[in-house]
């Protein structure tokens, strides 16, 4: 019976496969086989034994059901894998499985192989999302809209700026993932408490050779586990990505409010239902789901931080939590990246409401422009600020257009003509270098991999 929504509601097949039981077992078999091969090359175990172990390093031979059956008796996950693996090897080859290693050598190294696959899925999806945001930035490079600070109308900006800003943030996350991959995807064959005593004098050679076989960098030093600062960094990176998607979602949801309605996510009016009781509803459910699930990814990062200070050379407190934390965070993040891609592709910009909202404050959003004009015309910046501030407050309180109030102010009219006043209230001419800034992002993006 499915309990966790990941089982039936959230997640993609590709990421679920990375963290599935079958995949985990397969990666563990590959690590055990790489260990046997490395040891045979150094004359520590018979070559024939290593060859047989490598022939059988597949779930085609070592069945998950059998591993679970053995674990019911042994109550040890790695021992059950070793025993099930040994059963499938002919002759005495099974006696040489797990030779000189300890459980976390296999678990942590196999997990690194899973992480490599997870990185590939996440990075490919983030690059798709980045591309969708860049398309939107190009499309809306000159779409003038109101900028908001503190939830209040500020000065004009463009929707191109918003989308380009998000695209660059996604690019930084791609770079963070790539950087953290080098520290997280590592191998470890160091034995109990990390001294390599059971492997003997060839310990360092075996340790390095296993890394080569599996295309993983061997750790320089460990105790009995790969140190969890590496995993904490990875989980923090996932949380950062989730929070960027949350930020995008919050903006879209806010801009889809009935009284704003500048943005709207896809809604199939022919059959989609927004509410069980209110037939008119068109809710931003895609971006709400993104925001909601991002909280779990963020919370999981904090839980992984608690796995960094284990008791001395190791304890088991990290194991149980990480069985939940890594798959859950990777699956949920992959899921909300997918939702973000879908949401961006189908996101509509309501130009009529965008323009209407520009006019909402009756010219107050041009107060900065007027103030800077007066400052440059000789009034002085501080005097200009206070003069325009008083006019703006009067316009607000009386519900009048700022232009009307300014025209009545003698101190203002000493420095500005009627024609200049008219031109200053053309919102589309007060977006600074926004189109150029977006163009710079689009040009720089050509160098992104």
Catalogue the active-site residues: 150, 275
CA dihedral 306, 309, 312, 315 (to 10 degrees): 20
Please give the biggest Cα pair distance in the chain. Answer: 103
In angstroms, the Cα distances linking 448 to 310, 360, 443 are: 39, 39, 10
CB of 402 closer than 8 Å to CB of 363: yes
Sign of CA dihedral 16, 21, 27, 30: negative
Label each residue of 368-435 as H, E or C: HHHHHHHHHCCCCHHHHHHHHHHHHHHHHHHCCCHHHHHHCCHHHHCCCCHHHHHHHCCHHHCCCCHH
In angstroms, the Cα distances linking 42 to 32, 35, 408 are: 16, 11, 93
CB of 106 closer than 8 Å to CB of 34: no
Give the phi and the psi of residue 19 in degrees, each rounded to 5. Answer: -105, 10
Rounded CA gap, 237 and 297, in Å? 10
Rounded CA gap, 236 and 173, in Å? 11
CB of 358 closer than 8 Å to CB of 427: yes
């Amino acid at each position: 019976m499915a309990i966790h929504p990941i089982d039936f509601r959230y997640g993609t097949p590709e990421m679920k496969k990375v963290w599935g039981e079958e995949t985990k077992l397969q990666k563990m078999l590959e690590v055990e086989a790489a260990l046997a091969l490395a040891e045979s090359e150094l004359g520590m175990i018979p070559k024939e034994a290593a060859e047989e172990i490598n022939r059988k390093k597949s779930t085609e031979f070592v069945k998950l059901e059998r591993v679970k059956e053995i674990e019911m008796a042994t109550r040890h996950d790695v021992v059950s894998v070793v025993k099930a693996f040994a059963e499938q090897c002919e002759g005495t080859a099974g006696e040489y499985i797990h030779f000189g290693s300890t459980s976390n050598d296999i678990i942590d190294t196999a997990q690194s192989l899973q992480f490599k696959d997870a990185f590939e899925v996440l990075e490919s999806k983030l690059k798709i999302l980045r591309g969708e945001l860049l398309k939107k930035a190009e499309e809306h490079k000159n779409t003038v809209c109101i900028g908001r600070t503190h939830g209040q109308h500020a000065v004009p900006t463009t929707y191109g700026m918003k989308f380009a800003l998000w695209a660059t943030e996604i690019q930084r996350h791609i770079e963070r993932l790539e950087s953290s991959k080098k520290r997280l995807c590592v191998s470890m064959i160091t034995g109990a408490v990390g001294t390599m005593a059971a492997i003997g004098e060839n310990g360092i050679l075996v340790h390095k050779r296993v890394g080569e076989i599996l295309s993983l960098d061997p750790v320089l030093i460990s105790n009995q586990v790969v140190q969890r600062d590496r995993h904490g960094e990875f989980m923090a990176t996932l949380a950062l990505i989730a929070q960027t998607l949350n930020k995008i979602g919050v903006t879209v949801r806010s801009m889809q409010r009935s009284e704003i309605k500048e943005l709207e996510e896809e809604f199939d009016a022919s059959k989609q239902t927004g509410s069980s009781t209110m037939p008119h509803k068109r809710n931003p459910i895609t971006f709400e789901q993104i925001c909601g699930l991002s909280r779990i990814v963020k919370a999981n990062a904090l839980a992984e931080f608690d796995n960094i200070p284990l008791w001395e050379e190791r304890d088991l407190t990290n194991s149980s939590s990480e069985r939940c934390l890594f798959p859950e965070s990777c699956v949920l993040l992959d899921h909300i990246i997918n939702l973000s891609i879908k949401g961006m592709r189908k996101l509509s910009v309501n130009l009529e409401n965008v323009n209407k909202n520009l006019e909402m404050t009756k010219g107050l959003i041009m107060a900065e422009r007027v103030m800077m004009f007066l400052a440059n015309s000789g009034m002085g910046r501080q005097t200009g600020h206070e003069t325009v501030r008083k006019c703006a407050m009067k316009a607000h309180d009386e519900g009048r257009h700022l232009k009307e109030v300014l025209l009545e102010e003698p101190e203002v009219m000493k420095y500005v003509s009627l024609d200049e006043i008219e031109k200053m209230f053309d919102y589309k001419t007060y977006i600074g270098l926004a189109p150029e800034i977006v163009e710079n992002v689009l040009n720089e993006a050509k160098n992104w991999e």
